[in-house]
Amino acid sequence: MSIAYLGRESLRQLKNMRAMIFTLAVPLVMLFAFGGTFGGAGQVDAATHLPWIAVTTIQVAAYGGMMSALSQAFQIVTERSIGWNRQLRITPLTGTGYLVSKLVAALALALFSIVVIIGVSIALYHPHLSAGSWILAALGIWCGVIPFALLGILIGQLAKPEFAQPLFMAVFMGMAVLGGLWIPLQLFPAWVADVAKAVPSYWLNRVGQLGALQSGDALTPAIVLTAWALALGALIVWRYRRDAARG
């Protein structure tokens, strides 16, 4: 039953047009705005040695993937408010199956967002980057959104309906700014860049850049993102068991 529920939950997320539009509209607007500004094929970012449009596309794809993964919080809050979680506990579906289904659904939505954003950028701006580099960049970003999918699940488990949106926006905007997904961190004081290295969004952006470069230290981003995923996973299990005990 867990496998069947997993498939249905993922398909339901991909058929949710409101969520799809929400998680694609803002990133695409950003891509059009910043891509038009930094879309010159000859412009190269001095920090990453990538074409500016490629750097911008990676930032926007990470932004869209992060938004898609975190947006799972709203679905879980809604299900909790109508008692759907309690209903599922009387079925053969295990707690692990339920949580994995939410993670897979979030990753499916994030993958769709990442692929669309990169595809639109390639079609409009023709960045000078090989197909292999784009594939590795997309794969790196997709794997890197796992902590954000888990964070979205945790927010969904903790937040009350009236506080879900403010909490989501606070977390999302903070992560976007510190990750350099809106404004390059080079424009901030040095201490901001130091703080940013503690949050997963910084490494989400970085792992996309390393994929595009097909070189560099990928171990550090992998360690940081994995540590975040393990910590958030432990909190999710604790919260789920606590809710189950209450039920």
Query: Which residue(s) pair with 51 in the sheet?
Result: 44
Over the stretch 170-182, which tens digit does the pLDDT of each residue have? 888 888 888 888 7
CA separation for the pair 129, 54 (Å, rounded): 8
- Containing domain of residue 184, as a range? 2-246
Q: What is the pTM of this model?
A: 0.87
| pLDDT given at position 237 | 83
Burial class (CB in 10 A: 0-12, 13-18, 19+), 247: exposed
Q: Give CA–CA dist 62/56, Å, rounded.
A: 10
Q: What tens digit of pLDDT does each residue of 150-201 get?
A: 999 999 888 887 787 888 888 888 888 888 887 777 778 888 888 889 999 9
User: How many structural domains compose the chain?
Assistant: 1
Q: Per-residue pLDDT for 1 more than 60?
A: no
| DSSP 3-state of 19 | helix
Residue 32 pLDDT exceeds 90? no
Q: What pLDDT is attached to residue 21? A: 75
pLDDT (0 to 100) of residue 137:
95
